[in-house]
Amino acid sequence: MQSVNLIESFSDFKEIKNIDKATLMSIIDDVFRSMIIKKYGTDKNFDIIVNPDKGDVEMYKNRAIVDDEFAEDSFEYDVNKHISLTEARKIDDSFDIGEEVTEPVDMEEFGRRSVLSLRQNLVQKVLELEKNEIYNKYKERVGEVITAEVYQVWKKEIMMVDDEGNELILPRTEQIPTDFFKKGDTVKAVVLKVDMKNATPVILLSRTSPVFLERLFETEVPEIADGLITIKKIVREPGERAKVAVESYDERIDPVGACVGMKGSRIHGIVRELKNENIDVINFTSNAQLLIQRALSPAKITNITLDDTTMRAQVYLKPDQISLAIGKGGFNIKLAGKLTGYELDVYRETEEEEVIDEEDVDLEEFSDEIEAAVIEELKSIGCDTAKDVLKLTQEELVRRTKIDEETIKALRAVLASEFDAEQE
């Protein structure tokens, strides 16, 4: 081939990613045939030989030899398909009618504009195919943990590259709050989803997805990878706490012990990867009460009342267990609710022989200052007196009732002032 530009374009494709040689040759063949059809009207009598290793393409035109009279007088004669016997014997005097003459086609015949157009089409088709290959490759890897290198850090996301130089995106919303990465860092994440935007694959990663934690367990715990232990459900508050319900199909295997490992050897690696996220591993059970009890660990529960219609559970605990059940930042009770599927309401368990506080005041006494609907709402969660309300935090009252935060704050002030006045 005489076109330097064309040879350079092939050179660009020699180390192309994700495309095998046969597919590349097929693309080149299609592009050249389109150019031939545009110029000659057909490609039936043309042969194209692609050699991407050398960076060239050979084109040959095959023409049938006809007698001179047919060439001069027949309307069916086509200079692109036929050649007269006289002209054929100028090439080789041994030719005869009915045989074919094969001649090389020079790129110069197509003109500079056609060659430039061909090169652009070639580049575009290869890039499109490469993007489709990347999309299909990562579509199959959704849910798989990969390791990539941080290439660029932006405010809302991080761009990373894999071993083949493909670009991957880790959004800020999919990063653990304490994550901090800089260019060149190696990061583990799970492939969350793959989209096609403007004909370009967008590969999104996540470190906050429960699937990421599940894959880490599969890596660290051979029994999970082998199917002897199953992860029934995972709930997370990324960077803070996670709860993992596991079940063993082999009675000889303790699923919790296997996941934690000797002296925590297995789970420590996972905790470090998740920036010291606390991980509670519990035995799964179909018994809802027992599952709630395990999910609220380390708190010791006195009694549980379930309402399967509304999927609410009333959990009674001794006063010193309340804070353990709720946990720091409320994460323990929040995750326990997600894990079990029940909305958990915590109540203080009172001793039967407990002496009634004579200084306490029934809520009805405040009917002049507090609306009747608000009093009824408080009574619906077991708060009949002023001290019952004041024993609960403002956050807990907001969560367990339909009363807004400002109203809760105001009524607590009213109730508290009653006892302040008595002390004075």
320 occurs within a structural domain: yes
The count of structural domains within the chain is 5
23 occurs within a structural domain: yes
Q: Could you list the residue range(s) of the whole structural domain that residue 192 is in?
A: 141-208
User: Same domain for 126 and 28?
Assistant: yes
The whole-number pLDDT of residue 233 equals 96
User: Same domain for 129 and 156?
Assistant: no
The model's pLDDT over 20-43, given as tens digits with 9 standing for 90+, comes to 677 777 878 888 888 888 888 888
pTM: 0.65
User: Same domain for 82 and 14?
Assistant: yes
The model's pLDDT over 143-201, given as tens digits with 9 standing for 90+, comes to 999 999 999 999 999 999 999 889 999 999 999 999 999 999 999 999 999 999 988 99
The arithmetic mean of pLDDT across residues 76-100, rounded, is 84
CATH number for the domain spanning 169: value is: 2.40.50.140
213 occurs within a structural domain: no
The model's pLDDT over 55-77, given as tens digits with 9 standing for 90+, comes to 678 888 898 888 888 877 777 87
204 occurs within a structural domain: yes
User: Same domain for 70 and 127?
Assistant: yes
User: Same domain for 31 and 107?
Assistant: yes
Q: Is the pLDDT confidence value at 416 over 60?
A: yes
357 occurs within a structural domain: no
214 occurs within a structural domain: no
User: Same domain for 104 and 30?
Assistant: yes
The model's pLDDT over 263-318, given as tens digits with 9 standing for 90+, comes to 899 999 999 999 999 999 999 999 999 999 999 988 989 889 998 899 999 999 88
User: Same domain for 158 and 106?
Assistant: no
164 occurs within a structural domain: yes
The model's pLDDT over 345-356, given as tens digits with 9 standing for 90+, comes to 988 876 543 444
**Could you tell me the two tokens for 48?**
């194209």
CATH number for the domain spanning 314: value is: 3.30.300.20
The arithmetic mean of pLDDT across residues 92-103, rounded, is 85
